[in-house]
Amino acid sequence: MKCKKVCRLLPLLAGSDLPPRENEEIKAHLQICAQCQREYESYLLSYRKTKEWLERSQEDWPEEEWQGLIQKAIQGEELVPSLRPRWRLKRAWAYALITGAAVILSLFIMRFSIFRDKTGWGAKEDADLAIQQESISMTMVSHETGLKIVWFFNKNFEIKEEK
């Protein structure tokens, strides 16, 4: 195992939170690497000290306060009316609005296309477009001579050239 990987796992080793295999591999590495060993000892020291502090610093409720807390909980009197942030509710409303808008929009589009089919509304525009599409042109201009050639293709792909 390389030093980089060992260093990454040292915080977990300090608290014995590694699987046995990795544990053994790292410990074998620590026996041959003084730098990693020093790192490990420093993790171990901070781990043990904080654990000791956590154990020594224990707070408790005064009996009256504890009883009052239970009473308030039973009566449903929260000190804070709601700890749930309001944005969560807002987000739910936003999702509902977006979904609703999407449904209305899709219904509108569907209705519009049905109306188009039934009345033939927009058919003239479609026909004009089809006429326009009956021929296409391609223009080529020479930069050196200024010669301009235009090729016209009809729907049968017959070519007509203009210079």
Partner 1 sequence: MKSEEELVEEALNGNHASFELLLRPYRQGLLNMAVRMTGNTEDAKEICQAAITKVYKYLKNFRKGQSFRNWLLKILVNSSYDLLRQKKRATEIIESQKNADQVRGSAVEEKFLQSEIREKIQVCLQDLTPKEKSAFLLRDQEGYSIQETSEVLGCSPGSVRVHLSRARKKIRRRFQKIYENKEARA
* Minimum distance, C-beta of residue 32 to partner 1, in the bound complex (Å): 23
Interactions with partner 1, residue window 2-31 (CB under 8 A): 8-9, 11-12, 14-15, 17
User: Does 72 participate in binding partner 1 (rule CB under 8 A)?
Assistant: yes
Size of the site for partner 1 (CB under 8 A): 39
DSSP secondary structure letters along 145-163: T--EEEEEE-TT--EEEE-
Return the number of other C-beta atoms located less than 10 Å from residue 14's C-beta.
19
The position carrying tokens 């509304």 is 121
* Minimum distance, C-beta of residue 50 to partner 1, in the bound complex (Å): 6
CA distance 39 to 30: 10
Tokens coding 28 = 């074998």
Q: Which of 2, 3, 61, 136 binds partner 1 (CB under 8 A)?
A: 61
Q: Which of 53, 119, 124, 132 binds partner 1 (CB under 8 A)?
A: 53
Tokens coding 32 = 């041959």
* Minimum distance, C-beta of residue 85 to partner 1, in the bound complex (Å): 5
Interactions with partner 1, residue window 75-94 (CB under 8 A): 76-80, 83-85
SS3 141: strand
* Minimum distance, C-beta of residue 22 to partner 1, in the bound complex (Å): 11
Distances (CA, A) of 16 to 33, 51, 82, 143: 20, 13, 39, 78
User: Does 43 participate in binding partner 1 (rule CB under 8 A)?
Assistant: yes
CA distance 126 to 133: 11
Interactions with partner 1, residue window 120-139 (CB under 8 A): none
* Residues forming a β-bridge with 160: 152
Please report, as ranges, the residues that interact with partner 1 according to CB under 8 A: 8-9, 11-12, 14-15, 17, 42-43, 45-47, 49-51, 53-54, 56-61, 65-67, 69-70, 72-74, 76-80, 83-85
